[in-house]
Structure formats: structure tokens, C-alpha cells
């Protein structure tokens, strides 16, 4: 297997040996905003270069900040809609 600099590259390689980031399951959350925030935080600890911008580019989103805003919008909208 060749080495890749893509922080979203999926492989069977173990995470960074210095990382103590736990696994996170979407089934442990009732709110996907919170799940996405937690998942991203773990990815930052595990994968050098990970960011919402990289994820948005990889997903083909035109807005580089969209996913970051998805995580934050729930915090602001909770007072109005929740």
C-alpha cells in the first residue's frame, strides 16, 4: 500500500500511534450536529491536515465552510427552533 497525504484517505492502517482519540458512533447521538462536531474533533486528533475545508472539498461542496456552519448552526438555532 502506498502512502497518501490525503487526510481523508481510508485505509486499514491504524491511527497515529500518539493519538488517544476514541471511536465515535453516530448511534450514540440524537443530534447529527453534535455528532459531526465530535467526529471532526476526533479526526483532527487522528489525522494530520484534517479540516472541514478538506472534507467539503472532497465531498464536492462549493462552500468550504458549510460543514463547519452545520456544526455551529444548531447551537444558535436551538433557542429559536428547539
Tell me: the pLDDT tens digits for 9-41?
A: 544 445 555 555 567 888 999 888 888 889 888
7 contacts: CB under 8 Å, gap ≥ 6: 43, 47, 48, 49, 50, 51, 54
Query: How far, in Å, CA of 29 to CA of 66, rounded?
Result: 21
Note down the domain range covering 49.
26-81
- In the block, cell 491511527 appears at 15
Is residue 67 a part of any domain in this protein? yes
The pTM is what? Answer: 0.59
Does residue 39 lie within any of the structural domains?
A: yes
**12 found inside a domain:** no
- Tally of structural domains, the chain: 1
> pLDDT at residue 65 above 50?
yes
How does DSSP classify residue 59? H
In a domain, 8, yes or no: no
Amino acid at each position: 500500500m502506498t502512502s497518501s497525504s490525503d487526510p481523508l484517505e481510508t485505509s486499514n492502517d491504524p491511527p497515529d500511534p500518539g493519538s488517544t482519540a476514541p471511536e465515535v458512533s453516530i448511534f450514540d447521538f440524537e443530534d447529527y450536529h453534535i455528532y459531526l462536531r465530535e467526529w471532526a474533533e476526533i479526526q483532527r486528533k487522528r489525522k494530520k491536515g484534517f479540516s472541514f475545508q478538506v472534507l467539503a472539498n472532497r465531498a464536492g461542496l462549493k462552500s468550504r465552510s458549510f460543514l463547519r456552519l452545520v456544526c455551529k448552526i444548531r447551537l444558535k438555532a436551538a433557542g429559536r427552533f428547539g
